[in-house]
Amino acid sequence: MSKLFSNGCSFLTKRPKDGVETFTTDILANEFGDDLNNLAMGGRGNDRISFTTKLWFEQNGYQDTFAVIGWSSPFRNDYVTNDGWKKGRIPAMELTWRTWKTTEQLKFVQSNIGWDIENNAYMNFLDHVLDLQNYFKLNKIPYLMFNALPQIINNNIKDFKTLFERIDQKRFYKIETSHLEFIQQNNFIVSLLDPHPSTEGHLVWAKLIKEYIDVNNLRTY
């Protein structure tokens, strides 16, 4: 490998205001000796992650690249903007993005008859994971996914269980937990008011991820 591609939310970016000058995929790239290509953006959701990941690979090719995806919250709803919001943040991409949160628009959600918030979120999560998984497999791109933020998982419904079983869990690190839950349980957060990873929270998580990648030989396809 010569490149490590990563995408996600703020959990895959630096946080200088809290003295955090590294992050999980930055650490992994250094450990593997790869050039890092990171498209993560704070506050954004999984629509943007899925779309921009596929676009990047179409722009840059599939060869000699290992992908790491840290899924964001399923309650973040990305949309393409017409105001050029933060244009230029992602080189060579014209589209710009904003996000609205389901939990902040409950009046709108509840005005739509029968909207099942949690099951809709889980449906979207499954759809995003399988879509990107199939893209990676189609193009023989080695990859690993993990949840940066917690997901809703409900396999009591047959529809969900059927698709959940199609996820390649060898290439998904601990699908039923998340980086956020890990750092909260182990007190690796920058502060009680800001539950983002501390430097140690990134270092320890990156060590666990790297061990998992190495043991399962995931950098080859």
Instruction: Supply the pLDDT for residue 170.
Output: 98
Instruction: Name residue 102's amino acid.
Output: T
User: What are the residues facing 38 on neighbouring strands?
Assistant: 6
Size of the chain, expressed as the number of residues it contains: 221
Q: Which two tokens stand for residue 151?
A: 């997901």
CATH number at residue 47: 3.40.50.1110
Please state the φ and ψ torsions of residue 199, each to the nearest 5 degrees: -55, -45
- DSSP type of residue 48: H
- Sheet of 172-173: strands edge to edge? 35-38, 3-7, 65-71, 143-147, 172-173
Say what the pLDDT of residue 202 is: 98
Total of domains in the chain: 1
Residue 11 lies in a domain: yes
What pLDDT does 49 receive? Answer: 98
Whether residue 220 lies inside any domain: the answer is no
CA distance 106 to 108: 5
pLDDT of residue 1: 64
Q: How far apart are CA 186 and CA 106, in angstroms?
A: 32
Task: Show the domain range for 120.
Answer: 3-215
Radius of gyration of the chain (CA): 17
Q: Where are the beta strands (DSSP E) in the chain?
A: 3-7, 35-38, 65-71, 76-80, 97-101, 143-147, 172-173, 189-191, 194-197
CA 129 to chain centre: 10
Total-model pTM: 0.96
Chain-centre distance for alpha carbon 158:
26
Residues 126, 155: Cα–Cα separation, whole Å: 11
91 contacts 27 by C-beta, under 8 angstroms: no
Cα–Cα distance list, 55 to 105, 131, 133, 178 (Å): 30, 13, 15, 26
DSSP 106: H
Assigned domain for 195 exists: yes
- 137 token code pair: 């497999």
pLDDT value at residue 155 = 95
On whether the CB atoms of residues 159 and 167 are closer than 8 A, the answer is no
Residue 221, domain member (yes or no)? no
Distance of alpha carbon 152 from alpha carbon 73, whole angstroms: 9
Per-residue pLDDT of the chain (221 residues), as tens digits, is 699 999 999 999 999 999 999 999 999 999 999 999 999 999 999 999 999 999 999 999 999 999 999 999 999 999 999 999 999 988 899 999 999 999 999 999 999 999 999 999 999 999 999 999 999 999 999 999 999 999 999 999 999 999 999 999 999 999 999 999 999 999 999 998 899 999 999 999 999 999 999 999 999 98
Query: Can you list the positions of beta strands (E) in 106-153?
Result: 143-147
